[in-house]
Structures are given as C-alpha cells and as structure tokens.
Amino acid sequence: MLTKARRTALAAVTLGALALTACGGDDSSSESGANSGLGLVSEGTLTVCSEIPYVPFEYVEDGEYTGFDIDLIREVATGMGLEMEIQQQGFEAIQGGTAVTAGMCDLSASAVTITPERADKLLFSDPYYDSLQTLMVPKGSDIQGIEDLAGKRVGVQQSTTGAAYAQENAQDAEIVEYPGDGELFQAIQGGSIDAILQDIAVNTSHTKDGDFDIVEEYETDESYGFATKKDNTALIEEVNTQLAELRNNGKYTEIYDKYFAE
C-alpha cells in the first residue's frame, strides 16, 4: 500500500510550463463582459464542461461543485473577471472535442490527459497536473500486479489513458469499460470486476476506507490540461496567463495541498 509521502510525490505538479507564461501582479486580469474577445458561449461567464463525479478532481459536495479542477478553473475565471458555470457532460464528448465544438461550453475541465490524438481536435492549456496510472484491488486479493490479471476482469473508464494502458499491457485479461468512475467503483464493490486500472488520485480516493489497496503504479508521462476548440487561441492564452499567476501568487499550491497533501 502506498505511503502518504509516496502518494504526494506521485501526483507531482507540472510547474515549468506554467512559469513560461508568467506575468506581473495585478496586470493578469483581462476584460470581462461583451468586450472580452474570447468567443464565450455566454459573455461575462466562463462555461465549463466536466464529467462529474471524478473524485478528487470534480464532484458535488453539499450541493456545490468542487474538486481540484473545479477550484482551479474557478480561480482562473475570477482572474479573467468572469463568472463560472458548470455543464455536466460525458467524458466521450469532452475528450473527443464535441462538447466545445458544439458550443456546449467554452472550456473542458475534466482531468483530460493531453495526447497527440486529442490535440488534433482540441487546443490545450499548459499542463496543470501530472499523473500516473494505478491498479487497485480489494484488500486481500491475490492480484499483486498486472502480470496477475490473466483470466481476471479489469475495469477501466472508456476513452481514457487507463483504458488504453490496460488494452496494451493487461495480457489475457478481460477489459470491461464503464462510462465513469462512479460505475467503476460500484462494479468492484459488487464483485463484478476484480480490479480497476485508472488515475492514481482517483484510485487513492477509494482506498481511504481500507477496503481496497493500490498494488501497482505505472509511469505513463501524462499531464492534464484544460481544453477548448482549436481556433480559440485568445481564450487558451488567457487561461495560461491565469494559471501562471496562480502559481506565482501561491494560490495554485494552496488548492493543490487541499486535495493532495495527504
């Protein structure tokens, strides 16, 4: 089982890319409202698509949207002088670009890994989070690594890095795809699957009650980014400016520690 220090280290922050767009102090905020020039779905509001729940990145608590991605993009919107509205969408529409190109939202904030295939359809911000893939099993399972998955049922979320990794590396396992983490976790709780292969932070959130263990982790060199449609460079440049400012003023670290320090 991963130690507290190890969990923190594995969820390392991508700092270098954020620093590239750093700007000074109070000059970081942009115009809001009809003169923003950002091609917003609703002027004065940053409309954000997210697949919810995906703890700890986006979920609902006490009737409010929260999570690492949500808190971070809310600060970005504030720095831009905009209100923020969340639109719940399926991950397939988000990672495939449909959500933004169809005008459902201005930006996707949903733990979306930056990949060349997705970058063909979407314009990504600077990376804001680095992740690993992990294998989670019920406590006491005889599965101790990916080599033990032959003949087992392994749950993944469809259209994700975890699904691709499992298809390539889980030899002779049955890969079972689910639309979201909620369905995945219910499946392993009910015994329909033997393991889950997905992002470390999400699997870690399921181990807190002591019923499940992370038994293996996989370096996949993946980073998350916020995404918009390919031609909206003005919006993504402003998002990058705000991300850099949040890094410089310490707010990024404050949000990060809230969700990952333990």
CATH code at 181?
A: 3.40.190.10
Residue 2: inside a domain? no
Residue 32: inside a domain? yes
Q: In the structure, what pLDDT confidence band is assigned to residue 262 with cuts at 50, 70 and 90?
A: low
| Strand pairing report for 212-224 and 59-61 | unpaired
Residue 4: inside a domain? no
Looking at the structure, tell me whether residues 192 and 121 fall in a common domain.
no
Q: If you average pLDDT over residues 49-71, what whole number do you get?
A: 96
Report the range of poorest mean pLDDT among 30-39, 159-168, 178-187, 221-230. Answer: 30-39
- Burial (Cβ within 10 Å: 0-12, 13-18, ≥19) of residue 244: buried
Does position 7 have pLDDT exceeding 90, yes or no?
no
Does position 27 have pLDDT exceeding 60, yes or no?
no
Residue % of the chain over a pLDDT of 90: 80
Looking at the structure, tell me whether residues 25 and 48 fall in a common domain.
yes
Looking at the structure, tell me whether residues 123 and 136 fall in a common domain.
no
Tens of pLDDT, residues 114-146: 999 999 999 999 999 998 999 999 999 999 999
The predicted pLDDT at position 159 comes to 87
Looking at the structure, tell me whether residues 28 and 121 fall in a common domain.
yes
Does position 19 have pLDDT exceeding 70, yes or no?
no
Domain residues for 160? 131-222
Respond yes or no on whether the N-terminal peptide bond of residue 116 is cis (omega within 30° of 0).
no
Residue 3: inside a domain? no
Does position 29 have pLDDT exceeding 50, yes or no?
no
The predicted pLDDT at position 189 comes to 97
Residue 6: inside a domain? no
Residue 229: inside a domain? yes
Looking at the structure, tell me whether residues 197 and 243 fall in a common domain.
no
The predicted pLDDT at position 34 comes to 38
> Which is more confident, 28 or 257?
257
Looking at the structure, tell me whether residues 50 and 148 fall in a common domain.
no
Does position 204 have pLDDT exceeding 80, yes or no?
yes
Q: In the structure, what pLDDT confidence band is assigned to residue 24 with cuts at 50, 70 and 90?
A: very low
The predicted pLDDT at position 245 comes to 98
Residue 104: inside a domain? yes
Q: If you average pLDDT over residues 195-200, what whole number do you get?
A: 95
Give Cβ neighbours of residue 239 (< 8 Å, ≥ 6 apart): 76, 107, 125, 226, 228
Looking at the structure, tell me whether residues 30 and 123 fall in a common domain.
yes
Looking at the structure, tell me whether residues 117 and 186 fall in a common domain.
no
Distance, in Å, from the CA atom of 241 to the CA atom of 30, rounded to the nearest integer, reads: 10
Q: Quickly count: other Cβ atoms within 10 Å of residue 156's Cβ.
A: 25
Residue 179: inside a domain? yes
Does position 16 have pLDDT exceeding 80, yes or no?
no
The predicted pLDDT at position 171 comes to 87
CA 78 from chain centre, in angstroms, equals 20
The predicted pLDDT at position 37 comes to 85
Looking at the structure, tell me whether residues 119 and 152 fall in a common domain.
no
The predicted pLDDT at position 12 comes to 39
Q: If you average pLDDT over residues 85-95, what whole number do you get?
A: 95
Q: Which of 64, 257, 11 is nearest to 74 (CA)?
A: 64
Looking at the structure, tell me whether residues 124 and 243 fall in a common domain.
yes
SS3 for 31-97 is CCHHHCCCCCCECCEEEEEECCCECCCEEEECCEEECHHHHHHHHHHHHCCCEEEEEECCHHHHHCC
Looking at the structure, tell me whether residues 215 and 242 fall in a common domain.
no
Looking at the structure of the chain, the number of domains it has is: 2
- Mean pLDDT, the chain, rounded, equals 87
| Strand pairing report for 195-199 and 153-157 | parallel
Looking at the structure, tell me whether residues 202 and 251 fall in a common domain.
no
The predicted pLDDT at position 36 comes to 63
